[in-house]
Amino acid sequence: MSETRMIWRRAVMVLLALCTLSCMRPAPELQLPRAGHLDPALWEGFRTRFISDGRVIDVDNGGITHSEGQGYGMLLAVAADDRHTFDGLFAWTKRTLARPDGLFAWRFGPCQQGAGDCVTDSNNASDGDLLIAWALLRAADRWGAEPYRQEAAGIAQALAAHQVVRRHGRLVLLPGVHGFDATEPGGVVTVNPSYWVFPALEQLAVAFAEGPWRQLAESGRNLLGEARFGAAKLAPDWLDISAGGLAPSARFEPRYGYNAVRVPLHLAWSVHSDPSLLAPYLRWWAEFGERPPPAWVDLVDGRVAEYAWSTGMAAVSQVARARVTHNVPPAATLPVPAADDGYYAWSLLLLSHLALAEMRQ
């Protein structure tokens, strides 16, 4: 063998060895921003209006409490450095909503005192479970309390075991244990795109690297790249996945509305934010010029709500625009709560404050 061929052979062997080593390296760890801080006045406004005896009260829906609200309340309490309220919220959640499988019932009361169990729907909601786990991880970091991390690990394990499944070639997050998966092999699966809380999934991916969280987030982004319907090409509140593809769910109104409004917030808050995924939302909002957009749009017939979006929805649009333009304004530029804003509008507004604070780091 000539000297030249020997040199080439050794070079190829070195390159193959380097490739093998690089392929064996784990994926780089996500670099997450520090958890943002919440303005004390905003937190006090939320706390006094919507939190009582350890539960967040959804005044927009007859005074019920749901796992989503508990998760939001816990997340905001961490941001406000209010450990007392955080502990009260989590204690009530565990005492009242905990299910045997490690998840949480999604809806509570209200009911008359002494009238028995006030959990009016014991099915879980995976966004609520995910938010609670995320809040616990942030609490563990902020207050140096490992028991919170252990609690989050249990919820994450339950979510992975019961809610993360592969269907029609996709890794998906089922909205609940019951009622959304296909009743027969290859049948329709219903998901909620807004349940992919990307910053929460990214936190779980860092804390529990052995779990499906990184892959689930990637699957969610791919799903949102395809789930674009109507003239505006927006994601629906509820989505059916079948062998034939994607469609607004036949079980719900085919709207971009009160659920899907969280999609651009979650996309913008993600460390892997993709401007192309946010572009349809910015285009739709821009169509209305100086007028406030409607609260929802039907993605089949184009009908829109007769009333405008809420303060919280307006705040979400500003977060999405800041992410796409790379011009992140101070949180003080966000709208202030309106007199008639309820639990959900306040929640979206305060979450937008956190997202902007973390984007400015």
**From 58, 68, 237, 341, active-site residue:** 68
**CA separation, residue 147 to residues 68, 77, 97, 261, 280 (Å):** 22, 17, 19, 33, 42
| Count of Cβ atoms closer than 10 Å to residue 201 Cβ | 25
Distance CA(340)–CA(331), nearest Å, equals 21
Asked whether 274 and 267 are in contact (CB, 8 A), the reply is yes
Identify the burial level of 242 via C-beta atoms within 10 angstroms of its C-beta, where 0-12 means exposed, 13-18 middle and 19 or more buried.
middle
Does residue 60 carry a catalytic annotation? no
Q: How far is CA 115 from CA 93, 121, 122, in A?
A: 19, 15, 17
Would you call 301 a catalytic residue per the annotation? no
**From CA 277, how far away is CA 282, in angstroms rounded?**
10
Which residue in 58, 82, 127, 358 is the catalytic one?
Answer: 127
Q: What DSSP character marks residue 260?
A: T
Active-site annotation, residues = 68, 127
